[in-house]
Structure formats: C-alpha cells, structure tokens
Amino acid sequence: MKERLLTNTEPIDVFHYFEDLTFIPRESGNEKEVSDYLVNFAKEHGLEYKQDEWYNVLIRKEATPGYEDHPGVIVQAHMDMVCEKNGDVEHDFAKDPIVFEVEEDRVIAKNTTLGADDGIGVSFGLALLADDSIKHPAIEFVCTSDEERGLQGIENFDFTQLKGDYVINVDSDDEGVVVVGCAGGPVVKVNVPIRKVPADHKKEYYAIKITGLRGGHSGEDIHRGRANANKLLIRVLRALEENVRFDLSDITGGLKYNAIPRNAEAVIGIEKEDKAAVDAVIERFSGIFADEYRVNDPGITLEAVPQETADHILDEASSRRVLDYIDFTETGIIRRDQDYPQFVESSVSLGTISIKNDSAEIWIMTRSSKESQHRAMFQRIISLTKAYDGIYEVMSDCPAWEFDSESQLKKKFEDVFRELYGKDPSFMILHAGLEPCEFAVKVDRKLDMISLGPDIRDLHAPGEYVVISSTQRVWECFKRLIESL
C-alpha cells in the first residue's frame, strides 16, 4: 500500500484531496471511479450533486449568509489526466496509484505523469466546498470528464442547469499568468478531386523529402517562427516547375492536423537528363531554408531520394489543382490580439496532406479568439476549396472565448492580487482551446470568466510536477477572489 506523503503539506485540504486523487485511476475515458469519488465527497458533505452519463459531476453549495443575492460562481476543473510513462517503468494506469515524491518545493512524479493537470484544479474545487470558513456566493463546482482527448466531457454537459454568472476555470499552469480568453475555430477536411493515370515507367522517380523540422503545437507554438514542412515542399515544387517538367505521383505531409508538420514529401517522375536541374533546385533551396530558418528551425534537410518507380501519377490538371491548393492555403499567424499584441489572435495551420484514390485530402486547422475572424478564415477556406472544385467538411468546431475588456471578474482578481503581492498580475489570451470556450457558447447569458492555476511543469510528460509554494499563493488568491465576489 502506498503511504501518504502530503498530510502536512500546506494548503492541507488542497493536498489532501490531491493525494486522494493519486490513488484513483483516471485516464481519459476511464473516469467512473474518480467520478464516483466526487459523488461520495458530495454525499459526505451533504451537498447537492448531479452525475451525468458521461461521468461529469456538478456539486452545489449554497451561498454563505449575507452572500445570497450575489451572482453565483461556477468553479470548473477536469477530472481526467494524460497517462504517460517512461519506457522502462512498470506502471498500469488502469489500477496502479501514481508514485510521486516531495522534492524541495515540488511534488513530482519522476517516471509517469503526475496528474496535477488537472488534479490540482479538482482539489481546489473540493477544498473550497469542504471549507466552511470561506465566505462565498452560491457555488457550482463543475468537474468534467475526458477533457484531454478533446473536451469530450464538457461537450456533453447539460449547461441549462447552471445558474452562476462567474466562471473560474482552474486548469491553467502558470501562476503568473491568468487566462482571459482563448482561441476556437474549425478543423476543416478538404478533398480536392484528382484523376490518376498510369505512370511512365521510362522516367526516373525521386522523393523530394523535407525533414528535420521542429514542429510543435499548431496553436501554442505558432508564434515561434518555425517552418511548416508542407509549405516548404510547395516552394521547392514551384521552383522545379520553372525548370523541369515533372509528373506528380504522390504528395504527403504532416502527421496530425493540430501539429505544425515536421516533414513532407512529393514523389515526382522526371526525364533522366533533368536530374541535374533537380539537384540544382534542391541545393538552392537547402541554402534558402538554412538561411531563412537559421534561428527558429535550423535542422531542415531537403533531399531527392531515388525511388524504384511509381504505379500512378496525377494527370496534369489534377497535379496543378493540388499544388495550387496547397500553395494558396493560408498558414501561420493571421492577426495579433489588439489588447495584447504579444499574443496571436488568429492563425491557420495547413496540417496534413495525403493522396487518396480520387482526391488529395488536406486538413486545415484555424484558431482565433475572435469569432468574426474565425468565420472570415473559414470563409476563405471555403472559397478556395470551391475554386478548385473541392469539397470540405468541418470535422470539429471549438468556439472562441472572446476577451471581455469590461470583465468584472478580471478586475476583482487584479484587486485581490495587488493587495496580496503589491504588483499587477499578467493576463494572456491562449491560442488553443480550453473548457471555458464551451461555456461561452452553450450558456445563453453573458458569463464572466477567467482561468488560473499554480505552476505546473512538464505537463503531459513523465516528470510532471507542481510547485508547492505556488499552490499556496494561488490558493490564497483564489479564496480571497471567491470572498470578493
């Protein structure tokens, strides 16, 4: 039996519940046990609760006397965690407790993920509900399931039962930065029609390969100036077109629609005598990419690898359509935020390309914290797709949480923070999805929202840790914020 290590760690209640959670398996999709734990908590504390079929749990606590007519507060966290471990470690996330250590100011799981994302948020919610000394308006604690695989739990949550006007999401990982808005946007799958014809076996075939890019999250890393392999490839092919007549046999790029593509390749067929011209283009662009990305993406490799042969090629019209479509699709930063220009407001990422039987399939992800921009980007994708006789399908569409410069909750947080620390807090607009996005569209009255949390590092990876002193400070801030509402 694993022994308890956090019994005396302040804030006592927060770490008590956090430690409880480390005993409960809670990988995304396996939330019944943790959901039942929350239900038992509510029962033990005599609190009204509702568990839905997705294992989301809502727990209510009535306002403290004197706070009955204040607007209610919704506190929100997710119960599931990302389960990653080091390769050489025996650990079964379906039954084994998370093994962690207390190392100076950190609670750290060295060989697995810790689940501080978002076990700390859940613990804040429970500690708040359990503590009768904190004065508060009516509380609704919304603890969702299956967040990490794409906000599945909250998408199925019944928002009509909520009464509160403030939302405090406790799923941020940087004490110094409070989130006040985040990006939404559709993931669009486009199919541009193609026709394949038999390949000319007298030609020589080469795979033009781009590898070695840094990649990253297509939202959170979009401002880092890294290359998009699909876009590099198209530049090389365009330059080839000017010098060489080639047949396009295949084109692929990227592995996940929500990541910046790290590699791409096109298989082309050429006449033997054109090989020197191809080599010259490869050499020229190797130099161009090395120069253009020498700081942000210095490992780019471009090469032409000989292939046995090819079965099919795209006919000329199809080849042009596909190359044009890829070339003319926007990618990268479209606009920066007006209030906070250090943050990206709108971006597009041309994620993946692959050739199917009768079409080229291209996945594009747009993100924007401004609904009108997100519509505009989407409209441009549709127009381009129509221009090339393609069809599009919206695979998922996360709404934006727009920043509200009039936010009372943000002002109250600033007051509490200044009073505690004598300085101003920082705010950010996250260029990725977060659960408050769902609140923003699914509740038909205007909600006032922020997202906060203590310092958690190496999230989603073995070695994840939460900083104890940071948890103390954020908990203090959180309590005072609740009392100020």
Binding site for Zn ion (CB under 5 A): 117-118, 171
* Minimum distance, C-beta of residue 421 to Zn ion, in the bound complex (Å): 25
Q: Which one, 112 or 252, has the nearer CB to Zn ion?
A: 112
Query: Locate tokens 């000329």: which residue?
Result: 316
Which stretches within 131-228 are classed as H helix? Answer: 152-155
Distance CA 127, CA 120 (A): 10
Q: Which one, 19 or 171, has the nearer CB to Zn ion?
A: 171
| Angle separating helix axes 229-243 and 316-328, nearest 10 degrees | 130
* Minimum distance, C-beta of residue 147 to Zn ion, in the bound complex (Å): 6
Residue 354 parent element (H or E): strand 344-355
Q: Which one, 147 or 297, has the nearer CB to Zn ion?
A: 147
* Minimum distance, C-beta of residue 258 to Zn ion, in the bound complex (Å): 16
Q: Which one, 118 or 165, has the nearer CB to Zn ion?
A: 118
* Minimum distance, C-beta of residue 286 to Zn ion, in the bound complex (Å): 40
Whether residue 158 is preceded by a cis peptide bond, meaning omega within 30 degrees of 0, is no
* Minimum distance, C-beta of residue 406 to Zn ion, in the bound complex (Å): 27
* Minimum distance, C-beta of residue 253 to Zn ion, in the bound complex (Å): 29
* Minimum distance, C-beta of residue 462 to Zn ion, in the bound complex (Å): 17
* Minimum distance, C-beta of residue 112 to Zn ion, in the bound complex (Å): 16
Partners of residue 397 on adjacent β-strands: 186
Q: Which one, 67 or 401, has the nearer CB to Zn ion?
A: 401
Distance CA 83, CA 363 (A): 27
Q: Which one, 148 or 448, has the nearer CB to Zn ion?
A: 148
Q: Which one, 171 or 464, has the nearer CB to Zn ion?
A: 171
What would the two tokens of residue 156 be?
């199925």
Asked if residue 347 lies in contact with residue 332, where contact means CB atoms within 8 angstroms, the answer is yes
Q: Write the DSSP string, 300-319.
A: -EEEEEEES--SEEE-HHHH
Neighbours of 445 (CB within 10 A): 7
Strand-pair category, 359-368 with 344-355: antiparallel
Phi and psi at 394, nearest 5°, equal: -85, 115
Strand-pair category, 57-61 with 73-78: unpaired
Q: Which one, 154 or 180, has the nearer CB to Zn ion?
A: 154
Helix (H), strand (E) counts: the chain: 11, 23
